[in-house]
Each structure stands twice: as C-alpha cells, then as structure tokens.
Structure 1
Amino acid sequence: MKVILIGVNRLNKRRFANLSLLAVTAVWGATFIVVKQATEDLPPYPFLAIRFAIAFLTLLPFVWGKRRHLSLKAVGKGLGLGCFLFGGYAAQTIGLQSTTASNAGFITGLSVVIVPLLVSITTRKFPSPTLLLGILSAVAGLALLSLGDDLSLNSGDFIVLICTFFFALHIFLVGRYAPTESAAILAAGQILAVSLLSTIFSLILPQPSSHFTPYAWFGILLTAIPATSLAFYIQTKMQQFTTPTQTALICSAEPVFSALFAFLLAGEILPLRGLAGAMLVLFGMLIAEFKGSKEIAKPSK
C-alpha cells in the first residue's frame, strides 16, 4: 500500500509539473508575434538585454529568500545555462526578423528530437516505443507546419533552426541541475547571463537605430516578467518532477500556441496542412503524457 501511495503521489506531481510546463509553453508561444513586432522598433540584442535585466531584477526577492542555498557551484550552473539560453534567444530573435512568427515557433519545436537523443547518449537507453511514436508524431507535425510548398526553408528559418540546438541543450541541462539546486538561483543565474551577453553584443556589434516606442516597451515588459522571470522559474522548479524528454514534448506544443496567437494578433492563417501538423504535434504530446503517466503509476517491486 505504501508503494502504491508513493506511486500515486509521484504521478500527481508529474501531472502538475507537466500542466505547469504546458502553461509556460502557451506563454512562450504567445510571445513570438509580440517579439517580431517589437524588434521592428528595437534591435534584437538591446531588446534581449533590457528584457532579461528586468526579469533578473524581479527574481532578486526570490533569490534573497533562498540565500542560504547560494554557492559558487549553483551560480556557475545558472550562468552556464544562461549561455545556452542566450544562444537560443539570440538566434531566434534575429531569425524572427526574416521569417513568420508561426514558422519560428514550428522550427524551435524541433528540440523534441534533440533532447531524447541527448538523454539516450548519456543514459545508454532508448525511449520506449510509445514515447518514440509520440516523438515521431511531433516531428511529422512540425515538418507539415514549417516546410513551404517547395519543401524548403528561407534564410530566417535556418537562423531559427540554430536556436533549436541551444534550447535542447538548455532543457537537457536544466533536467540534470534542477533536482539538486535552488530553482530561484538557477533561474536568476541564467537570466543574468543572457542580459550580460546581450549587453556585450549590443556594444561590440553594429546596431540599427533604437526606437523606444510604446509597443517596444509593451513587448519588453510582457516578455520580461510572465515569459522570462516567472516562466523560467516555473520551468526550473517543475523539471524536478518530470523528464527532459517529457519537457521537450510539452514544449513542442509551442508552435501550436504560436500559430494560435499569430492568428489572433496578426491575422496569420494556417493552411489545411498546417492544421494537420498542429494536430500531429498535440497527438504526440498527449500519447507521450499518457504513457508516461502509466509508467509512473506502476509501483516498483
């Protein structure tokens, strides 16, 4: 009976964690169109520098509350995560200038393939057949969503594709660090690193003129708090209770949310093929979640 209760408790934590990550994914999906429009007034690197600086400041009260967990090791892990996060956001933000918000969201979701590969390499275990089916379904959906009629990608899409590798490494490493380190410290460290690196690149690279328009400030504030400080704190906290592969599958729904908000905010309409792709992505995520839940509910002997 005790073993069964432990299994149920783990199942409830996993489900709550996955639902929380899905909510974060929805927020991230909504920001694609906002970032695309905001960076028409403010160049990508200054935009990221200010966005993540504000996010870091909002996390300081949480860090103060966890100050007894502060250590060079924890801070170093957070800063290291921030380097991968910066690579992802820099490539994504730049790519958004020459592709659609929907395409950027779809291609970013390809991390659903890279994360399980990293897990398999490090654990020497292949995903279960059902999980593989979920991954393949998500990949097929992403292909339908992102490839044009001539089965080619434009220059902006290739830039966004680079961000996929950085984000996959970020998800994978958060899964390794989250169980042993404070979520607030890890989140603050990575957010600080992104802000500092963005500031450095803003100073050393030629930048277009900056226009701090009302919409640019709206984009900064919207992405800084709900989509950065709060979102990365939740991700880091919740990855203690789920796996990197499960996280990647949940994040693969980001293109679906991206397409939804691109339609609501900018009138971008998905063709029938894109809708079919969105359904495949959701199907892959759901069957993986169902299989994962069954495995967790099964008590160990």
Structure 2
Amino acid sequence: MNKKFLAESGLLLVAFIWGSTFVVVQNAIEFLPPLTFNAVRFFIAGVIIFFIYFIQEKGKIKATGKQLVPGVLLGLCLFIGYSFQTIGLLYTTPSKAGFITGLSVVVVPLLSFIFYKNRPAPKAIIGSIGAVIGLYFLVAKNSTGLSIGDGFVLICAFGFAFHIILTDRVTKKVPILFLTTVQIFTVSLLCAVSAIIFENWQVVFETSHILSKTTILAMIITSLLGTAFAFFMQTTAQRFTSPTKVGIILTMEPVFAAITSFILTNERLSLFGTVGCLLIFIGMIISELPIEKTLAISFLKNKKSLDRKL
C-alpha cells in the first residue's frame, strides 16, 4: 500500500473518532464547563504525547526554539476551533455541530488560494461543492433553524480550516511528535487561562463532577483517541496529501456524528439529512477519483485515433 492511501485512510479514521465523540463531549460538559473540560482533556493528551516523544528521543529534546512557533500557532487555531465548538454544543445538537464544523471543507481551498495561491485540482473543487451542498441539506433542511450555538460552531470551522492549512506548511519542517506536543499543550494553556477568567473552573476539585462516570469516560475517549491519537495521525498524514483533500475527507465527521447521535440519543435524520450524508460521501469519493488522469488518457487516445485517420 502506498503512503498516500494509508494517510487518507488514517484521516478517515480521525473523522470517525471526532464524529463519534460529539455526544460524549456534550454529556461531559453537563458536569464540567466547556473551557475547563478542554483544558483538562488537552493537558492529559499533551502529557501522553510528550512521554512518547521523550522516550523516542531517549531523554534528549533536540527541537529548537524556532520550532516552538509553528506548534504555538497550530495550538491557537485548535483553541479557537475546540473552544467555540464545545461552547456551541451547549446550545445546539451534536449532529448539527458536526455538520457546521464540516463547512471547513469549502473554507480550506479558499484560504489556501488567498494566502498561498494554491489552486485546488478540479476534482477537489467538484468534491468540495458536492460536500457543501450535502452540508446545506443536513443543516438548513434537516433542522429547526439556526441558533446561537450554530454561530459559535461556525467560528470553530474557520479555526479548524486554518489549522489544516498551517499543518500542511509546517509538517515537513518540524518533528511530528514535538509539533503535536507543543500544539496540544498550547490549547490546554489557553483553555485554562480562559476558564479562570470566564468559568467556574473550581468544579474540577469537586469529586461529584470530575469523578462522575460520564466525565471520566469522556476524558479517556477524548484525551487518548480524540486528541493524542487523532492529532498525531492528522499531522503525520498531511505529509502525504493536500490540505483540500484533508478537508474533504474530514467532512465525513458530521456523517459519523449523525450516525452516533442516532444510535446513542435516537436523534433521527430526515430525508434531506440522509441525502446530505450521501452527497458528502459522494463528494469525498469524487475527490479521490483519478479524473484528471482519465481525461488526459482519453484525450491522448482520441488524438492518436484522429491522427491515424488524417
């Protein structure tokens, strides 16, 4: 198997993990405030990644001070994404939050073109359009209207889009484990400071909150799988594929969120919602098809045939 296929399969697994944790996070923030929850979640994940990095380097941290900057910037993007997403979950449903987060699929190629003049491939554009139409069916046609929570989640979509683009720029320059460690600890620090300012963070010392089964389960799932593993996988995978394709693959996150919400909370999709899921899936498949290569081969065959006739 080539590295590109493995990388994109890994990203699909990340989308599944993130999509399936929306319900878990929503249940957990009934016990802990959103920013406090994220501060603890990302701190645990940071410790895990740093421990692995420390062992790999045999106790010798080789990264330079300049390599801290990309990790901090990525952490800032993640902080914006996760903070607004988690706060949004206080006011909207898991499936809607997943759908709106998926709008980053159209934001990624747009920002990539604006800042880096990277023109997306035609198949990526077609795939993005299909995914966005699918998201429209899921959000606008499958809900009772927009709420303030949806607005918060929309801001998070831009945070995640910037994270995908910046990750593409720095993954080839900074060691993966170091980069992942710095960005995760940055999110934890920013969330902790924000929680002290805006939230009743002292609840983390109340055993009825921090030791509840819901909170413990959420911390284990989101710290190990949704944070440590997922961001290591994403950072590694982006060495072998484009930012636009990453965005398209991650649009499967709301599909997985909808499936999980249906299984765990019996939140049902309408006909429009089902059509939206299918369009997102089709958009992802189109982005993977060798359209340009097929067209080029077809053109050359037709040209040769025409040359023989002439």
Question: TM-score, length-normalised on structure 1?
Answer: 0.90
Of the three residues 172, 178, 187, the one matched with 2:171 is: 178
In structure 2, the partner of 1:56 is 46
Structure 1 residue 125, shift from structure 2 partner: 4.4
Runs of 4+ in 1 over 3 A off after TM superposition: 66-69, 148-152, 291-295
After superposition, where does 1:57-72 map in structure 2 within 5 Å? 57-64=47-54, 65-66=56-57, 67=60, 69-72=62-65
More displaced stretch, 215-224 vs 67-76:
67-76
Whether 2:104 is the aligned partner of 1:105: answer no
3-state SS in 1 of match to 2:290: helix
In structure 1, the partner of 2:185 is 192
3-state SS in 2 of match to 1:118: helix
After superposition, where does 1:266-281 map in structure 2 within 5 Å? 266-281=265-280
Question: What does the per-residue CA deviation read over 1:45-84, in whole Å, with 9 as the maximum and x for residues that have no partner?
Answer: 1100110010011011232224554111222211111011
Contact 2:180–2:235 (Cα < 8 Å) also in 1:
yes
Quick one: structure 1 residues 292 and 59, their matched pair in 2 at CA, closer, same or farther if it must change by over 3 Å? Answer: farther
In structure 2, the partner of 1:129 is 122
In structure 1, the partner of 2:153 is 160
Structure 1 residue 148, shift from structure 2 partner: 4.6
State the one-letter code of the partner of 1:81: L
State the one-letter code of the partner of 1:257: F
User: Which ranges in structure 1 are unaligned for 5 or more consecutive residues?
Assistant: 1-8
In structure 2, the partner of 1:26 is 16
Contact 1:54–1:224 (Cα < 8 Å) also in 2:
yes
3-state SS in 1 of match to 2:269: coil
Question: What does the per-residue CA deviation read over 1:181-214, in whole Å, with 9 as the maximum and x for residues that have no partner?
Answer: 1110111111000110111111111328732222
More displaced stretch, 88-97 vs 216-225:
216-225
Give the Cα–Cα distance (whole angstroms) in 2 for the partners of residues 16 and 291 of structure 1. Answer: 17
State the one-letter code of the partner of 1:249: I
Of the three residues 14, 17, 40, the one matched with 2:7 is: 17
Give the Cα–Cα distance (whole angstroms) in 2 for the partners of residues 16 and 190 of structure 1. Answer: 24
State the one-letter code of the partner of 1:271: S
3-state SS in 1 of match to 2:289: helix
Quick one: structure 1 residues 251 and 294, their matched pair in 2 at CA, closer, same or farther if it must change by over 3 Å? Answer: farther
State the one-letter code of the partner of 2:93: T
Give the Cα–Cα distance (whole angstroms) in 2 for the partners of residues 214 and 31 of structure 1. Answer: 15
Percent identity among equivalent residues?
40
Give the Cα–Cα distance (whole angstroms) in 1 for the partners of residues 217 and 268 of structure 2. Answer: 24
Whether 2:82 is the aligned partner of 1:89: answer yes
Give the Cα–Cα distance (whole angstroms) in 2 for the partners of residues 94 and 102 of structure 1. Answer: 15
Give the Cα–Cα distance (whole angstroms) in 2 for the partners of residues 48 and 175 of structure 1. Answer: 24
State the one-letter code of the partner of 2:46: F
Structure 1 residue 150, shift from structure 2 partner: 8.1
Give the Cα–Cα distance (whole angstroms) in 2 for the partners of residues 294 and 185 of structure 1. Answer: 37
Contact 1:110–1:139 (Cα < 8 Å) also in 2:
yes
In structure 1, the partner of 2:308 is none
Structure 1 residue 127, shift from structure 2 partner: 2.3
Give the Cα–Cα distance (whole angstroms) in 1 for the partners of residues 51 and 13 of structure 2. Answer: 23
Question: TM-score, length-normalised on structure 2?
Answer: 0.87
Contact 2:75–2:182 (Cα < 8 Å) also in 1:
yes
In structure 1, the partner of 2:236 is 237
In structure 2, the partner of 1:43 is 33
In structure 1, the partner of 2:287 is 288
User: Over aligned residue pairs, what C-alpha RMSD do you find?
Assistant: 2.0
Contact 1:42–1:209 (Cα < 8 Å) also in 2:
no
Greater C-alpha radius of gyration: 2
Give the Cα–Cα distance (whole angstroms) in 1 for the partners of residues 141 and 92 of structure 2. Answer: 12
Contact 1:111–1:248 (Cα < 8 Å) also in 2:
yes
| Number of corresponding residues | 286
Give the Cα–Cα distance (whole angstroms) in 1 for the partners of residues 135 and 120 of structure 2. Answer: 20
Structure 1 residue 180, shift from structure 2 partner: 1.7
In structure 2, the partner of 1:247 is 246
State the one-letter code of the partner of 1:199: A
User: Which ranges in structure 2 are unaligned for 5 or more consecutive residues?
Assistant: 204-208, 298-310
Quick one: structure 1 residues 46 and 68, their matched pair in 2 at CA, closer, same or farther if it must change by over 3 Å? Answer: closer
Of the three residues 131, 137, 142, the one matched with 1:138 is: 131
In structure 2, the partner of 1:203 is 196
Contact 1:85–1:167 (Cα < 8 Å) also in 2:
yes
3-state SS in 1 of match to 2:89: helix
